[in-house]
Structure 1
Amino acid sequence: MAAKTNAGRFFEDYTVGQVINHAVPRTVKMGERALYHMLYPARHALYSSDQFAQACGLPFSPLDDLIAFHVVFGKTVPDVSLNAVANLGYAQGRWLEPIWPGDTLRSVSEVIGLKQNSNGKTGVVYVRTTGLNQHDEKVLEYVRWVMVRKRDLDAPAPKTVVPNLPNALSVGQLRIPKGLDFSRYDFELAGEPHRWGDYEIGEMIDHVDGVTIEEAEHMMATRLWQNTAKVHFDTLARPDGSRLIYGGHVISMARALSFNGLANAQMIAGLNGGAHANPCLAGDTIRAWSEVLDKAETKAPGVGAIRLRLVATKGGDPFKLKGADGKYPPDVLLDLDYWALMPL
């Protein structure tokens, strides 16, 4: 009798150029926002108030950028990272259209690189994923790479192909939402007076607050995004018997913590790069700091772009990213480089 269950793809099941149409489109509504704002201390005004969004030129408040990311990412897990050891990094991410309540999202991925690890037991798979809405409009795209187990340790290693990924997106590559206008921006309602011109390249910001990650909330979040990776659910999937906290959970928590000091960095427009530097487990307390990497004006009225490095830690010295050996210290969980839109 033929097996009807899906054990997921292993490293030797991927080929460069392979296109995967991921199953189960998902319609997102205000419930996703309510749950997102319950899980994370998310307070950016544009995603909290229709009236605030309308004053900024939008028809009403879109869903949070990272909701789009989590939903599109979650669709890919059964095909890309069900048998993952860890998700390693991101690059070339662009938010192309706002996500509105009632949109239906689906995901398509192309394998763009493969590299077997020296231990012969795992390999790194590079994919470019595109999220589309019900109109087949691209709403999000990004590259990620993930370490995946081999099923057959004797399977020959594929030809190594590592894609050439630029370090950062240019401002011209960012997509500004149609109608966005910060010329009448209400700083009092947004929560902080600091505008684009108040930040200097090289400035470091300690976001002060911390949040302890609980097992229950991580499990709820991972199910919400329909992320089925075994390392997040099955204690037998990791040698130490722990459940690995989904990296996107850390991203959303750090982004929410960054409100304190960056309340006016309203919209994420681009993801230049990112690394999950060390595993996060239940009981870890996440803190965050940011560094201003670059700034640029955009063609939208009153809208500036600010490039930020967002670092999530579980303690240790603030503003310490790497040691003398060039490696991340054990307390650094996330190193994320992104573009945000902010009032001039």
Structure 2
Amino acid sequence: MAKTNPGRFFEDYRLGEVIAHAVPRTVSGGERALYHALYPARHALASSDEFARACGLPVSPMDDLITFHTVFGKTVPDISLNAVANLGYAEGRFLAPVYPGDTLRSESEVIGLKQNSNGKSGVVYVRTTGRNQDNQSVLEYVRWVMVRKGNLDAPAPDTTIPELADVVSPDDLVLPEGLDFTGYDFALAGEPHRWGDYTVGERIDHVDGVTIEEAEHMLATRLWQNTAKVHFDATFRPDGRRLIYGGHVISMARALSFNGLANASMIVGLNGGAHANPCFAGDTIKAWTEVLGKAETSAPGVGALRLRLVATKGAPFELKGEDGKYLPDVLLDLDYWALVPV
């Protein structure tokens, strides 16, 4: 009797099933230190306990993307072990801060299935929820992933494509209890820019770039316990190259956005995202942002910005061609809400 797990294939998913993912993980300052070693992350709220206390929080929370990567990593053995590609995200909300010592676990509900016309793969839509040790939801999001079929003769399921919101309504954003930016220290944060200094339609070139290396990518996939074969097994792709984990690109671009968005302190919503083109070791990632929207919040001194973060190997502010398709140099197109002092 086989004891190993080859992973699920497209025909193994059933609409409406709920999958509890192994293995729970207690996060600590170790994750934070490694995160800051992997990425040039410098946002003050996630770096300093004293800065966080001055903003109404008990201690410095984990970087929001540490939460995302940890919750996401739990899902990989059940959702994307045999993936061709992770295609997109929607309806993401960060529901509570995660602090050192919290234990995170994940579960996913299959909310959509569509077999591709080639009959060799299909798209699986899941809504994933991350919970802490108190069973409190800390994160939820939808993603869809293209998964290989194991049995090409398996019948195609009825096509179900979920209706997903284009943007998380500002009214549905969840702000951390006690968050207060009225005494925000702009000098310690590194930039003077407030919510009112940004205008809808404004574009920001974040200037800096980072060349991706195999070593850091391999460390990242292991740190988040991401077991997708395309990320660590060079024999799994015909070209013999490891595909860089899309979350690695997200974190790199978010960290680079500090230059111009140092006060975009917390991510609270994930409206949508696409990994436009594959990323490989040796690629140099740069980033630019477009301000898509602004919203007031109920928290004192806190506003929200809707931001389009683009990671690219090419020039800033270039996104799509005349045919409406992403240009070859574009790696990531991410639409998210962040909290900013007013």
1:294 matched to 2:286: no
Counterpart in 2 of 1:335? 333
The SS at the match of 2:235 is helix
Q: How does 1:153-168 map to 2 (within 5 A)?
A: 153-168=152-167
Aligned-pair distance for 1:298? Answer: 0.2
In the alignment, which residue of structure 2 is the partner of 1:61?
A: 60
Q: Displacement, 1:154?
A: 1.2
Equivalent position of 2:229 in the other structure:
230
Q: Distance in 2 between matches of 1:321 and 1:111?
A: 31
Give SS of 1:295's match.
strand
1:323 aligns with 2:321: yes
Amino acid of the residue matched to residue 206 of structure 1? D
Instruction: Answer yes or no: is 1:107 the counterpart of 2:103.
Output: no
For the residues of structure 2 that align with 1:73 and 1:65, how far apart are their CA atoms? 12
Aligned counterparts of 1:308 and 1:44: Cα–Cα separation in 2: 16
Find the counterpart in structure 2 of residue 217 from structure 1.
216
Per-residue deviation, 1:156: 1.1
- Once the 2 structures are TM-superposed, how far is the Cα of residue 33 of structure 1 from its aligned partner? 0.2
CA distance in 2, matches of 1:164, 1:321: 25
Q: What is the correspondence of 1:241-280 to structure 2 with a 5 Å cutoff?
A: 241-280=240-279
Counterpart of 2:28 in structure 1 is 29
Partner AA of 2:184 in structure 1: Y
Question: CA RMSD, aligned part only?
Answer: 0.5
TM-score normalised per structure 2: 1.00
Letter in 1 for 2:188: L
- Looking at structure 2, the residues matched to 296 and 205 of structure 1 have their Cα atoms a distance apart, in angstroms, of 19
Q: Which amino acid aligns with 2:140?
A: E
Which amino acid counterpart does residue 121 of structure 2 have in structure 1? T
Partner-residue secondary structure (3-state), 2:22: coil
CA distance in 2, matches of 1:313, 1:320: 9
Partner residue in 1 for 2:187: 188
Query: Where in structure 1 are there 5+ consecutive unaligned residues?
Result: none
- Name the structure 2 match of 1:175: 174
Cα shift readout 1:191-220 (whole Å, capped 9, x = no counterpart): 000100000000000000000000000000
2:40 corresponding residue in structure 1: 41
* Alignment match, 1:284: 283
Q: For 2:238 and 2:160, locate their aligned partners in 1 and report how far apart those are by CA, in whole Å.
A: 29
Alignment of 1:141-156 (within 5 A): 141-156=140-155
Equivalent position SS for 1:248 = helix
Q: Deviations for 1:40-81, whole angstroms, at most 9, x for unmatched residues?
A: 000000001111101101111011000000000000000000
Deviation, structure 1 residue 239: 1.3
Secondary structure, in 3 states, of the residue corresponding to 2:105?
strand
Aligned to 2:168, the other structure's residue is in SS state: coil
User: d(CA) in 2 for partners of 1:100 and 1:52?
Assistant: 15
Q: Deviations over 1:214-261 (max 9, x none)?
A: 000000000000000000011121111100000000000000000000
Structure 2 gap segments, 5+ residues each: none
The worse-fitting range, judged by mean Cα deviation, of 232-241 and 283-292 is: 232-241
The answer for the alignment partner of 1:88 in structure 2 is 87
Partner of 1:17: 16
Q: 2-side partners of 1:119 and 1:242: how far apart?
A: 24
What is the aligned residue count?
342
Task: Give the equivalent residue in structure 2 for 1:52.
Answer: 51
2:325 maps to a residue whose letter is K
TM-score for both structures, normalised by structure 1: 0.99
Q: Runs of 4+ in structure 1 displaced over 3 angstroms?
A: none
The percent of aligned pairs where both chains have the same amino acid is: 80
Counterpart of 1:278, as a letter, is N
Report the CA distance between 1:318 and its aligned residue.
1.4
Deviations 1:171-195 (A, max 9, x none): 1110000000000001010000010
What is the CA-CA distance between 1:155 and the residue it aligns to? Answer: 1.0
Give how far 1:98 is off.
0.3
Cα deviation for residue 116 of structure 1 reads: 0.7
SS at match of 1:312: strand
Q: SS of the residue aligned with 2:35? A: helix
* Rounded Cα–Cα distance in structure 2 between residues aligned with 1:39 and 1:233: 17
